[in-house]
Structures are given as C-alpha cells and as structure tokens.
Amino acid sequence: MPGTKEIRMKIRSVQNTRKITKAMEMVAASKMRKAQERMRHARPYGEKIRNVAAHISHANPEYKHPFLVARDSVKRVGIIVITTDKGLCGALNTNLLRMVLQQYKAWQAEGEEVEVCALGNKGLGFMQRLGANIVSQAIQLGDRPQMDKLIGAIKVMLDGYVEDRFDRLLLAYNRFFNTMKQEPIIEQLLPLSGERLGSPETLWDYLYEPEAKAVLDQVMTRYIEAVIFQAVAENMASEQSARMVAMKAASDNAATLIDELTLIYNKNRQAAITKELSEIVGGAAAV
C-alpha cells in the first residue's frame, strides 16, 4: 500500500492536470464558436461562385475548361490533405490520416503515382514519415483561415493538374456536422463533375469583359480555391470541437481519478489511525 504522502502528491498532480485540461476546454469552446461562424461566413462566396461557374460553363459549350474535362487514363493522383497544426484534439487527425493511408496504399498497390499537398502540420509530419512525394505544403495556418496562406500551395496542385502531372485531384479533410460529430472525408476535386457544379436555373447571355475564356479561367480557379478554403474552415471548426470534447473527457477522467485517489487516501489515513489506536490499547493492556 502506497504511503499517505505519495497519494497526496499524486492527487495534487492530477488536480493540476485537470486545471490545464479544463482551461484548454474553455479556450477551445470559445474558439469553436468563432470557427463555426467563420465557416458559415465562407459559405455564401462558395455558393455564389459555384453559380457563376455553372452559368458560364453552360453558356459556353464550345470552350471546355481543363478542370471540367475528365481524363481517360487515371494513373497519377494528387491529393490535398487538410489536417490541424496542433494535436490534443482527440482522434480527429488519426481518423483522417488512417483513411488517407488506406487510399494511399491502394494506389501504391495499383502502381499509381501520388503527389501530396499537405495543409497543416500534422498531415505534413505524417506524410514525411510515410515518405510520400510532398509537392507543396502550408502550415501554421492559425486560428483563422486565410486565403493568403493557401494560395501558393493550391496553385502548385492546380498547375499540376493543368500541366498533366496528375489526372485527378482529391481533397481529404474533416467535415463538420456538429460539435459532437466530425467525419473524415475524401472527395474528388478535379476533374469537376457536372453534378457538383450543378446547372443554373435560368440561362442568359452575358456580356464578357474581356472575353469568356479569360473570365471562365479565373472563375474556375477561384471556385476550386473557395472549395478548398471552405474545407479548411470546416476542418478548423472540427478541430476546435474535437479538442473541446477531448479536453472535456480528459477533465472528467481526471475528476474520476481524483475521487478514486481521495477514497484510497482516506482509507489509508483511517487505517493508520486504527493501527495507532490498537497499538496504544495493546500497550495499555500489556502494562
């Protein structure tokens, strides 16, 4: 049986741990609200630009943007992996990376070449250890998604697609459903399927300045960027939610541990008192 002093020290250390996890939980909770708001703010842009893209691609059947053309042979793949920068957010990254790893192995088994773009520190580290071909990366994204930090990494991937370095581009991230539920998902970004773009309700002829092709090029690029941006925003909201839940679980666990330890401590103390008493009684009887 451990000594009373050791148990007391243990209790104190668990209490300190609980203070930290509790604080992290509260920080994550407040960040989560902001992250969710940001995610919602990013939505209108994505919808609007999708409408415009759908419009133009329908209005201009003669010009097919490379993003819309499906390739015949699919032998090389590009994947954008969005993870968090920091850990301590439960199984969020683990689940996503496990899914990516499975895909990755499947591709390797089929002899497909894979190029990886890592957004977020965790995914980058994982891909490095995996020995994957990382062509671009962006880390230290902060609490607030910023297009500025993503543009470079995304452009490398979009160029890769246009320049025929790979035949399709996938996006892996955690989709945010609600505070308790985030799911890892891998979706196809390029070639853009018609369904994803949707078709506009009404069609009219636009005036184009300078010309349809140039505008369409820009709209398409912006659209893909918006999709990725939205994914990053969702991933961040997922991160904060997952962290909050994980830290709450940790605080609860610490509380249970403290209860158990306190019980042992009290029992121990009681045992010591009883022992001392019986010694005194025994001693008195002997005299």
Partner 1 sequence: MAAATIHVDVVSAEESIFSGEAEFVVLPGEAGELGIYPRHTPLITRIRPGAVRILPAGGGEEQLIFVAGGILEVQPKVITVLADTAIRGHDLDEAKANEALQRAEEARAKAKDKQEIAVVEGELAMLAAQLAAIRRLRKK
- DSSP letter at 68? G
For residue 127, CA distances in Å to 47, 83, 118 come to 32, 11, 8
SS3 state of residue 182:
strand
- Residue 148 engages partner 1 in binding (rule: CB under 8 A): yes
- The pair of structure tokens assigned to 171 is 């996006």
Residues 241-270 contacting partner 1, CB under 8 A: 249, 253
Judged by CB under 8 A, the stretch of 36-44, 63-71, 75-83, 188-196 that binds partner 1 is 36-44
Following CA atoms 233, 181, 171, 152 in sequence, which dihedral angle do they give, to the nearest 10 degrees? 20
Contact 249, 68 (CB under 8 A): no
CA distance 253 to 104: 36
Quickly tell me which residue has 């910023």 as its tokens.
Answer: 146
CB of 183 vs partner 1, minimal distance in Å: 16
CB of 192 vs partner 1, minimal distance in Å: 17
Strand partners, 154: none
- Residue 88 engages partner 1 in binding (rule: CB under 8 A): no
- Residue 199 engages partner 1 in binding (rule: CB under 8 A): no
Contact 232, 82 (CB under 8 A): yes
Judged by CB under 8 A, the stretch of 145-153, 168-176, 177-185, 189-197 that binds partner 1 is 145-153
Nearest CB to partner 1, comparing residues 15 and 87: 87
For residue 280, give every residue at least 6 positions away whose Cβ sits within 8 Å of its Cβ, in sequence order, or none.
none
- Residue 58 engages partner 1 in binding (rule: CB under 8 A): no
Nearest CB to partner 1, comparing residues 73 and 202: 202
Which of 229, 239, 241, 258 forms a contact with partner 1 (CB under 8 A)? 229
- Tell me the pairing of strands 168-178 and 181-190: antiparallel
- The pair of structure tokens assigned to 148 is 């500025």
CA distance 149 to 20: 31
Tell me which residue of 243, 236, 245 sits closest to 36, measured CA to CA: 236
Which of 9, 91, 106, 272 forms a contact with partner 1 (CB under 8 A)? 91
- Residue 63 engages partner 1 in binding (rule: CB under 8 A): no
- Residue 163 engages partner 1 in binding (rule: CB under 8 A): no
Number of residues that bind partner 1 (CB under 8 A): 55
Judged by CB under 8 A, the stretch of 7-15, 74-82, 132-140, 261-269 that binds partner 1 is 132-140
Which of 88, 134, 185, 186 forms a contact with partner 1 (CB under 8 A)? 134
Following CA atoms 83, 85, 87, 91 in sequence, which dihedral angle do they give, to the nearest 10 degrees? -10
- Residue 152 engages partner 1 in binding (rule: CB under 8 A): yes
CB of 45 vs partner 1, minimal distance in Å: 4
Query: Site residues (CB under 8 A) for partner 1?
Result: 38, 41-42, 44-46, 48-49, 52, 55-56, 91, 94, 97-98, 101, 105, 124, 126, 128-131, 134-138, 145-148, 151-153, 155-156, 159, 204-210, 214-215, 218-219, 222, 225-226, 229, 249, 253
